[in-house]
Amino acid sequence: MPTYISPDLIINATLYTLLVFSATTWTLIFFKIWQFANNNRCNKRFEDVFWQLTDLQQIKTLAPDVAQGPQARLAHEGLSWLEAHEKSAGTMLKHYGDSTELLEQSMRVVVQEEQHHLESGLTVLASIGSTAPFVGLFGTVLGIMEAMHDITESGSTSLDVVAGPIGDALVATAIGIAVAVPAVLAYNFFLRRLKSQRIGLENFVTSFLSVAIAAKSGQV
């Protein structure tokens, strides 16, 4: 190890890095819990009102607190596309083709955007979960090297002299594992919630398409 770099400085930097990892992990955990819970609440509130409507145009009249959330944005996108298609059909290339397939494609884009929004932060959790133990191990290795250097200089190899410094060095590995476990568990948990919400959005797209087709054919 270069003599101009203090081992204690590197070890402390490792521990501070793990502290930053831990703070980032718990910040993301609390934020994602709120985000998923808020989306579920908004979707349920909108869906309860949406299926009581008698016409798709009534989506525009919904109260602001109801017209929030991923499903509300999907419904507004679908309605906006239908209105644009009605005005521009046959005059713009984007409206050429089967209207149902084009509407579905437009709404699928919104689903992908919503999924991307929900995925934000999950990559960070996965990265912390996979790298934190190695960061802790790096600090442990440096700590053991420093302890061995001090033991060599003292000329004593008794258990009292060896156990203390090495035990202190192993703390970095323990901290790294303690940081990684919540990040991995949270990542897996939110990944399941993400899949569940995506399925809900896809089901809503299918239902909206059925309503739109029925409305176009004059059945509603």
Q: What is the pLDDT of residues 80-115, one digit of tens each?
A: 888 887 777 666 666 666 777 888 888 999 999 999
Give the pLDDT confidence of 142-153 residue by residue, as tens digits.
878 777 776 777
> Residue 58: its pLDDT value, please?
86
Q: Is the pLDDT of residue 3 over 60?
A: no
Distance CA 213, CA 98 (A): 12
Residue 2 has pLDDT above 90, yes or no: no
In angstroms, rounded to a whole number, what is the distance separating the alpha carbons of residues 158 and 21?
A: 36
Q: Which residue has the higher pLDDT, 157 or 208?
A: 208
Give the model's pLDDT for residue 1.
46
- The per-residue pLDDT of the chain, averaged, comes to 84
Q: How confident is the model at residue 21 (pLDDT cuts 50, 70, 90)?
A: very high
What is the per-residue pLDDT across 157-180, written as a single tens digit (0 to 9) for each?
A: 666 656 666 776 788 889 999 999
- The answer to whether the CB of 103 falls within 8 A of the CB of 85 is yes
Does residue 23 register a pLDDT over 70? yes
Tally Cβ neighbours within 10 Å of residue 59: 19
In this prediction, residue 61 carries a pLDDT of: 85
Which pLDDT does position 26 carry in this prediction? 96
**How large a percentage of the chain has pLDDT more than 90?**
41
- Phi then psi for residue 158, to 5 deg, are -70, 160
Residue 79 burial class via C-beta count within 10 angstroms: exposed 0-12, middle 13-18, buried 19 and up: middle
Residue type, 92: M
pTM of the prediction?
0.82
Q: pLDDT category, 63, cuts 50, 70, 90?
A: confident
